[in-house]
Amino acid sequence: MMRADFLDQHSRLASPIHRLPAALKLAVALAVILTTTWTGPVVWAGLAVGLLVVAAVSRVPVGFLARRWLRLAPVAMGLAVVALFPPGGMEKFLALFARSGLCLFAMILLAATTPFDELLRVARRARVPAVVVTTLALMYRYVFVLADELRRMRQARASRTFTRSRARWWRSLGTVIGQLFVRSTERAERIYAAMCARGWR
């Protein structure tokens, strides 16, 4: 069974960064994102150094942060690809990828040093609509259940598949994802019905 805290498993370490108020850390992360959007490479370099210092002080394992960033870096690269087509595209691509990668690392560091329930409390105090906060809380609570179910489905599919052809693998993955979508929809309906039966509105 997958750990329920696999998304923020290092968020409760004892470090000066972890002891800072969640609202302050969220504000700093948002400030980094906004600053990255409106400034140039010199400021980006300074922000990158600052984030690396924060990461070192937080005592979150470097390997953990690197793996998280590498898993999500293709998303940043995909967003930056559109800048390749106009004239001078390579320079724009590198700038956009640097911006996206820096913002991504800031959010990963925030999640690694701040428990998700504290971020939700900050959202409530900031008057974020209750339905948004509740939706985020439910998504966080059940995402590890879906991830564990996906792992079991892939293992079951692999145990029944004896060929290693790439085409067969892609078809198998598509089938598993489709089944997971159906199961997650059914699970969501059952959870919603159970919540309504207990008086939730």
Q: 149 and 119, same structural domain? A: no
In this structure, the answer to whether residues 136 and 110 fall within a common structural domain is no
The per-residue pLDDT string of the chain (201 residues; one tens digit each, 9 = 90 and over) reads 445 455 667 778 888 998 999 999 999 999 999 999 888 889 999 999 999 999 999 999 989 899 988 888 888 787 777 767 777 677 888 888 888 889 999 999 998 899 888 888 999 998 888 888 888 887 787 777 777 777 777 777 667 665 566 666 666 667 777 777 777 777 777 877 877 787 776
pLDDT at 173: 67
- What is the signed CA dihedral for 99, 101, 104, 105, rounded to 10 degrees? -110
Same domain, 95 and 182: no
Find where tokens 């394992």 sit: 61
Given 95, 123, 151, which residue is the final one in a domain?
123
**Cα(86)–Cα(84) distance, integer angstroms:** 6
Please tell me whether residues 37 and 97 are part of one structural domain. yes
- Domain identity same for 73 and 164: no
133: tokens are 């906060």
Task: Point out the domain boundary residue: 123, 144, 178.
Answer: 123
Count of CB atoms within 10 A of residue 35's CB? 16
Query: Helices (H) and strands (E) in the chain — how many of each?
Result: 7, 0
In this structure, is residue 6 part of a structural domain?
no
**In Å, what is the CA distance from 175 to each residue of 14, 17, 172, 179?**
43, 43, 5, 6
Q: What is the amino acid identity at position 159?
A: S
Give the list of residues 6+ apart from residue 195 with CB closer than 8 angstroms, or none: none
The structure's pTM equals 0.73
Assess whether 96 and 151 both reside in one domain. Answer: no
Q: Which of 123, 142, 157 is the last residue of a domain?
A: 123
Count: domains in the chain: 2
Total residues found in the chain within this entry: 201
**Which residues span the domain enclosing 107?**
22-123
